[in-house]
Amino acid sequence: MKYKLGTLAVAGLMAASPVMADLVFPSLSYRTGPYAAGGIPFADGYADYFTLLNERDGGIGGETIRVPECETAYNTEKGVECYESTKGDGALVYQPLSTGITYQLIPKVTADDIPMLTSGLGRTSAKNGNVFSHVFNFPANYWDGASVAVKHIMEQEGGSLEGKKIALVYHNSAYGKEPIRTLQELSEKHGFELKEVPVDHPGQEQKSQWLQIRRDKPDYVIMYGWGVMNQVAVQEAANIRFPMDKFIGIWWSGSENDVLSAGAKADGYKALTFHNVGSDYPLYDDLQKHVIDTGKAAGAGDQVGSVLYNRGLYAAMLVAEAAKTAQEIHGVTDITGGQMRDGMEQLEITEEKMAELGLPDFGPEFSVSCENHGGEGFVAVTQWDAEAKEWNLVSDFMQSDQEVIQPLIEEDSKAYADENAIEGNC
């Protein structure tokens, strides 16, 4: 009996011990709960890209990749628990698909010397690498999104927004309030009137907000929503016959989930994006061959090519490239979290590199530096075709108004630096 117990204990220890030779990319996913419809495709795309690298290339630099998944249910406390339970496993980078979890992890990852990538979410001023040493938000952030939305509207209006009215329908949370300051600055700069229309969580009932929009008759509506708020907003906009091509959502309001339930009435709805759409790329042929056909796809394997799947895949590609950069810089393949951070800080994504990876024209070119953890802020606009049930890219990747955004980033990051006595990393 003692022998059996001893054997079990040894086996348990072996199973529990981290395999340090692997490159570990924990996935704080949410496949359950009210936001699962958004979490599942992202987690699938994230996992599938690493599976592809393992199957096709033998990992990164010869090191096998592991993607331990931890369910957060989009709950901040669970997200922090997931971080604590996986960081000791040799975690190289975290990408929590949640602004709430991101805020909690900022001091933790900095103390633990593990980088965190929050593409298109989290604390916008984390772009300032001089203050946020371990947080990255390339290739675009919430303020870039707001700025490019205004830029796109300006293009539609022939270059002037003087006397126009734009309504911001936003999730009444830290996330939803992110673009307000930027839009206020842009409204002063371009002479449009900004109407702020908050929607309380979860956003299942928005009658008041859309009656207000019907009364106010804004020329355009920009939306920062998530989850059920998006579907209801698109439906309500259709109900009041608001022109869909003048309704622009942030990238978290621009997936198939958000428009399918409104059917044909959602046709023409627009959304911002920091990566391309669809699956017509050479990389997807490799995915089909090495991952999907071999039955190794994550989840049910039915999300391939959807907007959020692409985002998960893109997120994995960015950190995989950063890991390669880290291996080159440090001359080792079995990198640590700190070395990974260095790789992220020297990441450069060019069109040539994207084409080599099998993703030509999939995302904007950008480079990261010690001071700039957020790239150059290039964002594009997509539009929903309800008949074909697909999103199409309808603009080039446009750079946000850095003249407005950069001072805001300096101001916000300085406040954080003062609060936390950070003297500067660069």
* 240 is an interface residue for other proteins by CB under 8 A: yes
Residues 313-332: x/- map of binding to other proteins (CB under 8 A)? --------------------
From 17-25, 226-234, 330-338, 360-368, span contacting other proteins (CB under 8 A): 226-234
- Nearest-approach distance from CB 97 to other proteins, in angstroms: 15
* 257 is an interface residue for other proteins by CB under 8 A: yes
Give the residue with the Cβ less far from other proteins, 300 or 421. 300
* 32 is an interface residue for other proteins by CB under 8 A: yes
- Nearest-approach distance from CB 308 to other proteins, in angstroms: 11
Footprint on residues 296-315 left by other proteins (CB under 8 A) = 300
Give the residue with the Cβ less far from other proteins, 151 or 311. 311
Footprint on residues 116-175 left by other proteins (CB under 8 A) = 172
What is the largest distance, in Å, between two alpha-carbon atoms of the chain?
84
Number of residues that bind other proteins (CB under 8 A): 40
Give the residue with the Cβ less far from other proteins, 108 or 201. 201
Give the residue with the Cβ less far from other proteins, 41 or 363. 41
28, 40, 248, 307: residue in contact with other proteins (rule CB under 8 A): 40
Give the residue with the Cβ less far from other proteins, 130 or 209. 209
- Nearest-approach distance from CB 31 to other proteins, in angstroms: 7
Give the residue with the Cβ less far from other proteins, 135 or 166. 166
7, 85, 160, 239: residue in contact with other proteins (rule CB under 8 A): 239
Give the residue with the Cβ less far from other proteins, 296 or 414. 296
Give how far the C-alpha of residue 16 lies from the chain's centroid of Cα atoms, to the nearest Å.
Answer: 31
Give the residue with the Cβ less far from other proteins, 4 or 241. 241
In the block, tokens 């799947």 appear at: 309
24, 37, 116, 323: residue in contact with other proteins (rule CB under 8 A): 37
* 33 is an interface residue for other proteins by CB under 8 A: yes
Q: What is the 3-state secondary structure (H, E, C) of the chain?
A: CHHHHHHHHHHHHHHHCCCCCCEECCEEECCCCCCHHHHHHHHHHHHHHHHHHHHHHCCECCECEECCEEECCCCHHHHHHHHHHHHHHCECCECCCCHHHHHHHHHHHHHHCCCEECCCCCCHHHHECCCCCCEECCCCCHHHHHHHHHHHHHHHCCCCCCCCEEEEEEECCHHHHHHHHHHHHHHHHHCCEEEEEEECCCCCCCHHHHHHHHHHCCCEEEEECCCHHHHHHHHHHHHCCCCHHHEEECHHHCCHHHHHCCHHHHCCCEEEECCCCCCCCHHHHHHHHHHHCCCCCCCCCCCCCCHHHHHHHHHHHHHHHHHHHHHHHHCCCCCCHHHHHHHHHCCEECHHHHHHCCCCCCCCCEECCCCECCCCCEEEEEEEECCCCEEEECCCCEECCHHHHHHHHHHHHHHHHHHCCCCCCC
Residues 187-216: x/- map of binding to other proteins (CB under 8 A)? ---------xxxxxxx-xx-xxx-xx-xx-
Interface ranges with other proteins (CB under 8 A): 31-37, 40, 172, 196-202, 204-205, 207-209, 211-212, 214-215, 227-228, 231-232, 235, 238-241, 257, 260-261, 263, 265, 300
